Amino acid sequence: MLLDGKVAVITGGATGLGRCHALELARHGARVVVNDIGAARDGSGRDESAARAVCEEIRALGGEAIPHFGDAADWNDSKALIDLAHATWGDVNVVVCNAGFLRDAILFNMSEADFDAVIRVHLKGHFCAMRHATAYWRERAKSGGAVYGRLISTSSESAFFAPPGQPNYSAAKAGIISLTMGAAQLMQKYGVTANVIMPRARTRMNDTGPLAAIFKKPEDGFDTFAPENVSPLVGWLASPLAANVSGHVFVVWAKDVTVATRPKLDTKFQSADVWTVESLQQQLGPHFEKLQPVQDGFTVPAM
């Protein structure tokens, strides 16, 4: 019972990955607030039944859980979510940001509304929860209270690969990494950790459309993209075992966990004089002649 007595908040906790995270944390003893507005794949509509059902699953396991139906990307709803956890169980210890939806389109076909909506639910949804949780932990530390804090953000490899049909989603997921890395540095002195997971898993966002065949559950054998494969990493990051793990990005799926390298500077070019177009071409031209433009998310050597 690594999380016995701890209080966890999960946004988008009613289905898919969120539901699996909620059950995983509850199995380890956490009390869980399941936040979910019950929206469809594109963010439309509301349905409270799924969040209530997850709470019933947790109670059936002998755990404690309550639902919250606020909008994770709304400032006041997000504050109310953190307040609810504290008012119910006296503390907030683990915040897993998972809420999101898709509205895919090629860049030159994407509407302003679809860009704004996806940036809002993913990036602002992370910001709101992290902002209110970190403020709570800071105030608790200032008042002399013990602080146990874990922030777990959900990004995507789309932040690396930047699919041309997801300019909103990939941009939001890249922003989540930077937001979480900043939180990790800020909150280190309070003993709070912040990490990012990039799951490859079957969710409502990929169970239809062009990727559905890839993520489809097999009729038998190991289910490579089962969301349950991801949740043990969330449980580990939330636990005391990962007290010194902060500011990292994890790609997780199937039976694999890959720790990503932080972005870093690469090849440096220097000039004895102020750069000119000609001197830039003299130094940079030969370097890029060896490379092709970006393809499928990578800069690859020329053939």
Q: Is 6 a catalytic residue?
A: no
Q: Is 255 a catalytic residue?
A: no
User: How far is Cα 285 from Cα 283, in angstroms, rounded to an integer?
Assistant: 6
Q: Is 190 a catalytic residue?
A: no
Q: Which residues contact 188 (CB under 8 A, 6 or more apart)?
A: 246
**How does 58-83 read in b/e, with b if 16+ C-beta sit within 10 Å?**
beeeebbbbbbbbbbbbeebbbbbbe
* Helix 112-119 / helix 167-187 crossing angle, nearest 10 deg: 30
| Active-site residue (options: 169, 231, 239, 246) | 169
| Active-site residue (options: 156, 170, 239, 246) | 156
Q: How much of the chain is in helix, strand and coil states, percent to nearest 5?
A: 45, 15, 40
Q: Phi/psi zone of residue 17: left (φ > 0), alpha (ψ -120 to 50 degrees), beta?
A: alpha
Q: At 245, list the tokens.
A: 């793990």
Helix, strand or coil, per DSSP, at residue 195: strand
The CA-atom distances, in angstroms, between 271 and each of 274, 275, 278, 283 are: 7, 7, 11, 9
User: How far is Cα 190 from Cα 193, in angstroms, rounded to an integer?
Assistant: 9
| Active-site residue (options: 155, 158, 173, 239) | 173
Amino acid at 204: R
Catalytic residues: 156, 169, 173
